[in-house]
A and B are shown apart, each in its own frame.
Chain A
């Protein structure tokens, strides 16, 4: 049994929120730099150069990468040999978010009562918390900050179990064609296949947390998305998407849920282990 004070988790959440709003992960920047060399349209090249300058300015000047400093999603893997002491875990996580957003000149974008008063909570809480128990005595913290230009592009479709890979590809392409231009391309695309409806959506978001090497099917979907020629900022060009990650989970004999979660070019992820 290892004791961890939940306030330590609050501190880590605070640090991660601050960091990822200013600084992209090196892998994200190198993925974008590499893609920028493939872009041949003059407008697309111009947009890539604006993007790369912007990332640099964000870090140097401590200006948020986007004015939409997002809704925070936290993913915790908690070792079952950990004993959590201190204030309740969810309260601690929201404390971390609150501290990050009230002291950093980030935009508070969260409103309460979504269909009623929509009053701003003024500290960007609550965040979305996902927890999972794993073996061991450590806690893995992962965090994704997404603006709603891209979150609004999310799609879910319940396919019949006899559907083909081709049907899934068409759904992905239709979604990107229809919703991609508004989601600040070039895009990172997470796809969740299987489970239940809610689990497929969760998988599609988790697919954005780590940039793993793409397999053959993912690369072929990426090529097809790029042939849509939506281009950087939706202004036309060779590079519409940067990355496709498909995550699967066993499902029911009668179904095949597929969810798509699109991220803009500033993929704001961070992680830490306690």
Chain B
């Protein structure tokens, strides 16, 4: 099946997605990777406020290049999701429902996805010039000291993905 969906996805929308379905995603995601995940996990464990609201949130694992003058988006594409595995079940339990990245996930992540009826979308790596056509803007919004590892507010427009792990825990 092919779907055109707008973020955030409600539970009903997530449940109908099955592994291998093609999903064109529109709306806002948080772009973040390794160090931002570690910092969010630390803040959560200390019971402190997070710099972004992750309730029913969507995360795209990414560290884009800086846009050229006059452009809103540089080179942008997924980074390897498995490096975020140690932090993902915690973030899902705190409200994240859509994950976008590339590659395999751990058993713990698959279990958390199933438990909270979340969904993992995959998109190919190494095709950033193609993918950037479907990104309207990229704005760093938190942990700016991390440079390319900051948290970004990213707006997608019919961004091409496939369902990698569905709400039933089925995996590609």
Contacts and interface: CB of A to CB of B under 8 A. Distances in A.
A66 B81 CA distance: 16
Nearest to A267: B126
Nearest to A53: B130
Report, as a range, how many residues of chain B touch the other chain: 35 or more
Interface stretch (A85-93, A104-112, A159-167, A217-225): A104-112
B82 interface: yes
A58 B104 contact: no
Interface in B64-91: 64-68, 74-77, 79-82
Nearest to B123: A233
Given A50-B130, A69-B65, A120-B147, A182 B75 contact: no
Interface of A: 43, 46-47, 50-51, 53-55, 57-58, 61-69, 105-109, 118, 120, 122, 147, 149, 152, 181-182, 184, 232-236, 264-266
A65 B129 CA distance: 6
B102 A51 contact: no
A235 B160 CA distance: 13
Given A69-B65, A108-B147, A149-B102, A264 B128 contact: no
A51 B124 contact: yes
Contact of A54 (B82, B127, B162, B172): B127
Contact of A232 (B124, B130, B147): B124
Contacts of A66: 75, 77, 125-126, 128
B162 A43 contact: yes
Contacts of B62: 67
B104 A236 contact: no
A63 B75 contact: yes
Contacts of A181: 103-104
Given A67-B75, A69-B65, 17 more contacts: A46-B22, A50-B160, A51-B130, A53-B130, A55-B129, A63-B128, A64-B75, A66-B75, A67-B65, A69-B75, A108-B147, A149-B102, A182-B102, A233-B122, A233-B124, A234-B103, A266-B126
